[in-house]
């Protein structure tokens, strides 16, 4: 009975089905081997509950992490470099205001749309995110990991640390590339 109650109060992340599709890595033309930068693209497919809440007027926050990790044989993957992209989605049907605010590398850009579908159509797509300075990497095996998560806005951060067993995000989706051989330093 306690397990059933816990599943109803704190539903598992899989119940809010989210995933990453269209994950691709591209080397810009004219790059030497090994490349100096990579372009990463992906699309997030959030769950129906997330979309319904957004259409009903709830403000949502979506965070993307595009990271490079060095792969080791018998050791955890080592974070090397990455970027964070934060998107704030607002669909206010009463006022007729539909905005998407994107923050990346200290720059903030706000875009207005005619309807909520315009916000949803552009908020979940990462297109050609640059990962630079790859020539400074030590030669080895690397992977690119894209993580998308939507933090629940109704819980104070300190409560998330005290009640660590309560999830503090609405959904979290992760996609990884295959092994990439990068770096020029021995």
Domain ranges within the chain, ordered by starting residue = 2-182
φ/ψ (deg, to 5) at 161 = -80, -35
With cut-offs at 50, 70 and 90, classify the pLDDT of residue 163: confident
Does the predicted TM-score (pTM) go above 0.95? no
Residues 106, 111, 115, 117: is their CA dihedral positive or negative? Answer: negative
- For the segment 82-103, what is each residue's pLDDT rounded down to a tens digit? 999 999 988 887 888 888 999 9
> Which tokens sit at 85?
């992209």
Lowest mean pLDDT among 34-43, 60-69, 141-150: 34-43
pLDDT at 1 over 60: no
Residues 110-124 have a mean pLDDT of: 85
Percent of the chain's residues with pLDDT above 70: 79
Q: For residues 112 and 14, what is the distance between their CA atoms, to the nearest angstrom? A: 32
Q: Contact, 154 vs 128, CB < 8 A? A: no
- Tokens 């470099």 sit on residue: 81
The DSSP result for 87-156, as a single string, is EEEEEETTTTEEEEEEEETTEEEEEEESSHHHHHHHHTEEEEEEE--GGGSBSEEEEEEEEEEEE-TTS-
Classify each residue of 26-42 as buried b or exposed e, where b means 16 or more C-beta atoms within 10 Å of its C-beta.
ebeeeeeeebeebebbb
Helix or strand holding residue 79 (H, E): strand 78-92
Residue 120: strand, helix, or coil: helix
């Amino acid at each position: 009975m306690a397990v059933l109650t816990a599943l109803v109060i704190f539903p598992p992340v899989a119940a809010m089905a989210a995933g990453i599709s269209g994950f691709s890595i591209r080397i810009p033309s004219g790059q030497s081997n090994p490349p100096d930068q990579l372009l990463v693209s992906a699309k997030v497919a959030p769950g129906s509950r997330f979309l319904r809440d957004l259409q009903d007027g709830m403000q949502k926050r979506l965070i993307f992490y595009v990271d490079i990790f060095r792969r080791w044989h018998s050791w955890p993957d080592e974070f090397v470099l990455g970027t964070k992209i934060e998107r704030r989605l607002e669909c206010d049907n009463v006022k007729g205001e539909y905005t998407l605010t994107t923050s990346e590398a200290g720059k903030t850009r706000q875009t207005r749309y005619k309807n909520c579908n315009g916000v949803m159509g552009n908020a979940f797509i990462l297109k050609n995110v640059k990962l630079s300075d790859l020539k400074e990497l030590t030669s080895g095996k690397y992977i690119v990991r894209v993580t998308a998560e939507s933090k629940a806005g109704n819980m104070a951060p300190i409560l998330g640390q005290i009640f660590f067993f309560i999830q503090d995000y609405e959904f979290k989706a992760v996609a990884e590339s295959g092994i990439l051989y990068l770096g020029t330093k021995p």
